[in-house]
Amino acid sequence: MAFAGLLLPPTALAAGPADNTWTALSPLPQSQDHPLLALAVDPSDGRVLLAGTASGEIYRSADGGQSWRLSRAGLGRGVAALSFSPFRPGFVLAGTRGSGIWRSTDGGLSWQPQPGTESRSARAFSFTKTLALAGTDQGVLVSHDLGSWAVSGLNQVTVSALAASAVNEPTRLVAGGDGTRSSEALPLFTSGDGGQSWAPVAGTQAGSSMVAMLTAGPLPSQQTVRPLLLGTNTGLFLSTDNGSSWQQLTGGGALPATDFTSAAFVTTHADRFYVASDGGGAQLGGLWSTGDTGGHVNSLSPPVPSVTALAVSNDDTPTLYVATFRGGDHSVMLWSYRDAGGQPRGPAAVPSLAPGTQAKAVGKAPRTGRLWILSLLSGPEAPYLVLGFIALLVLVLAGVTHFRRARRL
């Protein structure tokens, strides 16, 4: 039997996550055939979840993913980022592809567009105690009042990741961008004045050409600098000096030398964190945990290796919410895992691939039928397609007229 879209076996659903056991969550109301890239969990209530889809919807769950309701639809060409503020209860930002930034002040129940951001694509957010920042396809935007946004620099950079290493004044920020040519430095920048000015980070890792994610951890006891995790297309790196230098955590065997797309710290433990990779749709993807700042790493063995989104609850024994994607049948699946430190156990069931089905890369899952047409008509190329169609129609009419005149002569 073949499976497509977002699906889970009914027998796999449970009332709540059991310790160290993967549990299938309820599927979203609308079937998905593209990777789900945006998941967020409310830091004040670990059962409130938000999921943003590639077709432009935001769904909300108030029961840990056992049920979902549509919160917003029609958000550009997809939702690329969702982030709760750790400093303002109920405040959430959503980043879209081509439809700007959207804001919620009630924990994701309702959403309002942010003026001045309408045409941008936003893929990353970060918060300090006084600022909200967004990484967009035209640099960094900053908001001082959580309502209006201003340009904060890096206008020529497609910013894919943001993190605040110091949340009090003077705030310190790190921003990363998309791919470069092999002769160029990794697009990684720091700011020590809340985004008013930016400087390239020197001495970043050779071979990396893009920044996939940046995550800042909690402040360690008796220290003044937060740890930073950097995920690139070649591996995972750690900094304990505000991004001035980086230690590579991959290459020793525990973690594969692959792209890492998500990371999260346990809220009060600077040495405990999780990292996830989609593996480019291959078996190199996965989810790993560490309790000693990367000294020892354990695989949590997700049911599907390609992890496309990760959210971690604000608890000492956290619940992990995970989105996976299986390229063979374009299945998007949602899972929970309560990490109590034991040996990971698999779910009750995972739908199997149809015989002869071959996996495809995550980033190359083709749109088919109606979804492909809707993607073209809703994208930025739509005006050019209309003009091309009109021009073609004029040529056809001219040809018909010429043919009719020729027949009359």
pLDDT digits (tens, 9 = 90+) for 261-288: 899 999 889 999 999 999 876 677 999 9
Tokens at residue 85, please? Answer: 């503020």
Q: Is the pLDDT of residue 28 over 50?
A: yes
Please tell me the pTM assigned to this model. Answer: 0.82
Which of 172, 161, 169 lies closest to 242, judged by CA? 172
Percent of the chain with pLDDT over 70: 79
Q: Residue 243 in contact with residue 190, Cβ under 8 Å?
A: yes
Query: 338-360, pLDDT tens digit by residue?
Result: 999 999 999 988 877 765 555 44
How far CA 123 is from CA of 83, 99, 100, 332, 382, in Å, comes to: 10, 12, 10, 20, 22
Which of 103, 111, 218, 198 lies closest to 157, judged by CA? 198
Q: What is the pLDDT of residue 170?
A: 87
Tokens at residue 23, please? Answer: 């549990």
Which of 163, 247, 177 lies closest to 205, judged by CA? 247
Strands 5-6 and 331-338: parallel
User: Mean pLDDT over all residues of the chain?
Assistant: 84
Using CB atoms within 10 A of its CB, is residue 116 exposed (0-12), middle (13-18) or buried (19+)?
A: middle
Which of 273, 270, 298 lies closest to 286, judged by CA? 298
Q: Is the pLDDT of residue 373 over 50?
A: no
Domain 5-363 classification at class level: mainly beta
pLDDT band at 374 (very low <50, low <70, confident <90, very high): very low
Give the domain ranges of the chain.
5-363
Which of 239, 227, 235, 308 lies closest to 273, judged by CA? 227
Q: What is the pLDDT of residue 11?
A: 39
Query: The tokens 């109590």 sit on which residue?
Result: 340
Q: What is the pLDDT of residue 180?
A: 62
pLDDT band at 58 (very low <50, low <70, confident <90, very high): very high
Query: 135-163, pLDDT tens digit by residue?
Result: 999 999 999 988 899 999 999 999 999 99
Q: Residue 340 in contact with residue 20, Cβ under 8 Å?
A: yes
